[in-house]
Amino acid sequence: MESHMRSVPEVAEEATLAEQVPSFEEFYGANFRHLFTALCLVTGNRHEAEEITQDSFLKVYERWDRIGALEDPTAYLFRVSMNTFRNRYRRALLGLRRELLLAPEATDELAVIESHDEVVRLLLGLAPKQRAAVLLTAILEYSADEAGQMLGLRASSVRALTTRARAHMKNEVVHPA
């Protein structure tokens, strides 16, 4: 009879833990807009941001039983999305390099098309890590610690990236190319 009584608190503890973990649907509803907005600004492309957002939520959903129990599943979601973006960026860059090596020399120079939105233009001029750091801290108002968790960096690295990015953007505004 004692063994039966010992198992009851364990079941109760599991039930309490299950009550604390939000459902994936609640997590999705609470985080979709922030992630999508962040990725729109990081990628500079709404369609690519949409794809990365969907891929990221799918990866989290597939492992929700473990990820939902994490202390900060949102940080994990942002980390997955930034890793997905970096992987896509690397593949695109590699493809572009291959294409440029195989392409004949260009005879015409194409004019650079400027974005009408000054903020987007300035963000796109940043390195991806700097762009992500500025986006998370200045636009989405996460602390350097929170942004560091999402990017897999120390808070001091996030602050350094943000400082360099702001200096670069200020230089672009004062001395446009």
Global pTM value = 0.53
Q: Do domains 1-103 and 116-177 have the same CATH topology?
A: no
- The ranges assigned to domains in the chain are 1-103, 116-177
pLDDT at 29: 95
| pLDDT recorded at residue 105 | 53
Q: Is the dihedral of CA 155, 157, 163, 165 positive or negative?
A: negative
Average pLDDT over residues 56-61: 95
When comparing pLDDT for 108 and 130, which is higher? 130
CATH of 116-177, one of 3.30.230.10, 1.10.760.10, 1.10.10.10, 2.40.170.20: 1.10.10.10
Q: Which residue has the higher pLDDT, 169 or 21?
A: 169
CATH 1.10.1740 fits 1-103, yes or no: yes
Residue 174: the pLDDT is 76
Does the structure show a pLDDT above 90 at 89?
A: no
pLDDT band at 88 (very low <50, low <70, confident <90, very high): confident
